[in-house]
Amino acid sequence: MNRRGLLKGAASTLLLPRFPAFDEMAAQAAAASAPRIIARVRPGDPDWPTDPEWEKLRAQVDGNLVEVHSPLRACEEAPAGVACERLFKELKNPYFIGDNVALTQTTGWVDAWSLRPSVYAIAARRTEDVVAGVDFAREHNLRLVVKGGGHSYLGTSNAPDSLLIWTRAMNDIVMRPQFVAEGCAAQHVPQPAVTVGAGAIWMHTYNEVTTKGGRYVQGGGCGTVGVAGLVQGGGFGSYSKTYGTAAAGLLEAEIVTADGQVRIANSCTNSDLFWGLKGGGGGGFGVVTRMTLRTRELPEYFGVVLATIDAATDEAFRRLIARFVSFYAESLLNPHWGEIVKVRPGRLEIGMEWHGLDQESARAIWQPFFDWVGAAGKDFSFRQSPLVLAVAARSRWDPAFFRTYAPQAVRLDDRPGAPEENIFWSANLAEAGHFLHGFESLWLPAALLQPGRREALVDALIAAGKIWTVELHFQKGLAGAAPETLADVADTPMNPAVLDAFVLAIIAGESPPAYPGLKGREPDLALARRHADQISAAKRELDKVAPGGGSYVAESSYFERDWQRSYWGSHYEKLIAIKKKYDPDGLFFCRHGVGTEPWSEDGFKRAGDPSGP
């Protein structure tokens, strides 16, 4: 964080409401600052492991200890060379990024963090490899990092001078038609499930579960995100108003905790740890090695509604936004609908998804809204004509279907010999290798849809949208969901605000892959900072109608204020107790993760008694 941002954050913190429980935790952290400093070792320190010690670890993990070298070396040596050009082309391929130990899907964030890889990595292939890495890091006081999919916007998948446990190769996906969690035979009946390794990604998991298995598992929208990381963050998909979060579908996890023990966590065994894994943040309680998630029956169809509408005047635009808000509240606030609508200056972009309906039923729901737009004459025009399209549910993530019938919707892993199943959505191309300028999110409560409050909501959306594009992610707010769905999500650590929110508003900006200090490949920092200021200003317009609305840990600001309450609300104290029980010395560190208050920003120094975070 730059000095200006730090001072601005400190000043604004003085204006925040006070919460006694969090004040007490902050006081405890501050009180621990005097006695002594606990520091992790870095290369060159006297206590850094010797070469023989590293070789011993290499033998323990069957040779899968990797000395990490950044592929950016090619650009440092020849910025305009062929190798550098090839690298930056491949940084738009998320499969290439995911298969490189030194890379993450985000290359950095202005005034926040830059990609700086670990010194060594264990390319884990079995649980025993993870145990060896955890034991080694604990015994040698190393900074430890965990990476699976590597999709953390907040930079938690990398840290310089560290040991990385890389789970990419632990990617088995096994259907379990009659699964009962360990120790739960007396309480639970068998149910269909899927067990996935910590390195599996959602595109491959959907292909196994839905395309091949004819079932549905609740996961994420971006197909190259890691399964384990998404679940630990909470995890939303297009149909979360019916199926809840990915975390709510977790039945069991295998995890290596800070003491090097392999533990099974489910509702009957280590139930507190199990609860913490269902949205308490990735990599904070241990290294997950596998997860088992429940599967559901498929609906007959999944479908999409697409349209882009331009308004001719400010007054017409206000009528358009007001009409859409009313239409959503009256016709779409139910389990059938999710995905994104974007509010831009003078423009509304619709990209909604549905299930549990047929194509004609979905079209009939939208027809009154589209007829109203069409009847307004010159006030509105369709930049993209309305499209309502259904697809057989089993084809929803079928690589062969998309390669054949909708090639424009996907991109391919273009590396020679890449598996046919390695596709990703064209809509996610901008995220591959991106450099973030800013990212804000806020849950908007369903009370704003009440007739007496809609005008204020419309005003806020228009004011924010004039500054920066506002994305309304309707599947990431659970108002309108079925009672059983709400009950499942309520039994997770996620901020309870999600249960009453109809949408998660996201305001974000990025540029193509770039690295500060890399000649010819530097980001435009002045532009990025201007964008960051605009993004923050747009968020403040929404804050006016949803103060203290909370934020989603996996998609939030690096500079999130009052992050404990924002991410987890009233659940934070319980999460702190779990952290102290299973990781009392703070071996697992992610900035703004549970129990990290006493640590420095980089996770290398902690003040006070090492007995607990």
pLDDT, average across residues 210-235? 98
HSE of 23, CA atoms in CB hemisphere, 13 A: 7
pLDDT tens track for 420-447? 999 999 999 999 999 999 999 999 999 9
Domain that holds residue 13: 3-31+569-607
Tell me what the pLDDT averaged over the chain comes to. 93
Query: DSSP string of 344-410?
Result: ETTEEEEEEEEESS-HHHHHHHHHHHHHHHHTTGGGEEEEEEEEEEEEEGGGTT-HHHHHHH-GGGE
Q: Is the dihedral of CA 82, 83, 85, 86 positive or negative?
A: positive
- 471 in helix, strand or coil? strand
C-alpha 180/C-alpha 364 separation (Å) is 42
DSSP state of 450: S
**Closest-CA residue to 376 (of 332, 285, 463, 312):** 312
- Give residue 17's pLDDT: 37
pLDDT tens track for 184-198? 999 999 999 999 999
Whether 162 and 204 map to the same domain: the answer is no
**Closest-CA residue to 195 (of 214, 181, 212):** 181
**Closest-CA residue to 274 (of 581, 596, 554):** 581
Write the burial class of residue 512 (CB in 10 Å: 0-12 exposed, 13-18 middle, 19+ buried).
middle
Residue 469 pLDDT more than 60? yes
Instruction: Work out the pLDDT band at 26, boundaries 50, 70, 90.
Output: very low
pLDDT, average across residues 592-612? 82
Q: Which of 166, 194, 228 is the last residue of a domain?
A: 166
Distance of CA 227 to the CA centre of its chain: 10
Residue 360 covered by a domain = no
pTM of the model: 0.92
C-alpha 554/C-alpha 220 separation (Å) is 11
Whether 598 and 521 map to the same domain: the answer is no
Residue 45 covered by a domain = no
Whether 204 and 262 map to the same domain: the answer is yes
Residue 314 covered by a domain = no
Residue 84 pLDDT more than 70? yes
Instruction: Work out the pLDDT band at 249, boundaries 50, 70, 90.
Output: very high
Domain count, the chain: 4
Task: Name the helix (H) or strand (E) containing 288.
Answer: strand 287-294
HSE of 473, CA atoms in CB hemisphere, 13 A: 24
Residue 327 covered by a domain = no
End-to-end Cα distance, the chain: 23
Q: Which of 282, 297, 312 is the last residue of a domain?
A: 297
Asked if residues 258 and 286 have their Cβ atoms less than 8 Å apart, the reply is yes
Instruction: Tell me which of 37-51, 304-318, 331-345 is least confident.
Output: 37-51
10 against 540, higher pLDDT: 540
Whether 88 and 14 map to the same domain: the answer is no
Kind of pairing, strands 347-355 and 337-344? antiparallel
Instruction: Work out the pLDDT band at 18, boundaries 50, 70, 90.
Output: very low
Instruction: Using alpha carbons only, give the angle 163, 235, 112 rounded to the nearest 5 degrees.
Output: 50
Residue 466 pLDDT more than 80? yes
pLDDT, average across residues 581-592? 97
We report the CATH number of the domain holding residue 62 as 3.30.43.10
Residue 120: count of CB within 10 angstroms of its CB? 21
Residue 162 pLDDT more than 80? yes
Residue 13 pLDDT more than 90? no
Q: Which of 166, 200, 233 is the last residue of a domain?
A: 166
C-alpha 197/C-alpha 172 separation (Å) is 5
- Give residue 37's pLDDT: 60
DSSP state of 260: S
Whether 103 and 178 map to the same domain: the answer is no
Whether 480 and 593 map to the same domain: the answer is no
- Give residue 23's pLDDT: 47
pLDDT, average across residues 127-137? 98
Alpha helix ranges (H) inside 61-176: 73-77, 82-90, 94-98, 127-140
Whether 494 and 598 map to the same domain: the answer is no
Residue 548 covered by a domain = yes
C-alpha 126/C-alpha 283 separation (Å) is 17
- Give residue 38's pLDDT: 82
- Give residue 608's pLDDT: 58
- Give residue 607's pLDDT: 74
Residue 313 covered by a domain = no
Instruction: Work out the pLDDT band at 611, boundaries 50, 70, 90.
Output: very low
Write the CB contacts of 405 (distance below 8 Å, at least 6 apart in sequence). none
Whether 542 and 464 map to the same domain: the answer is yes
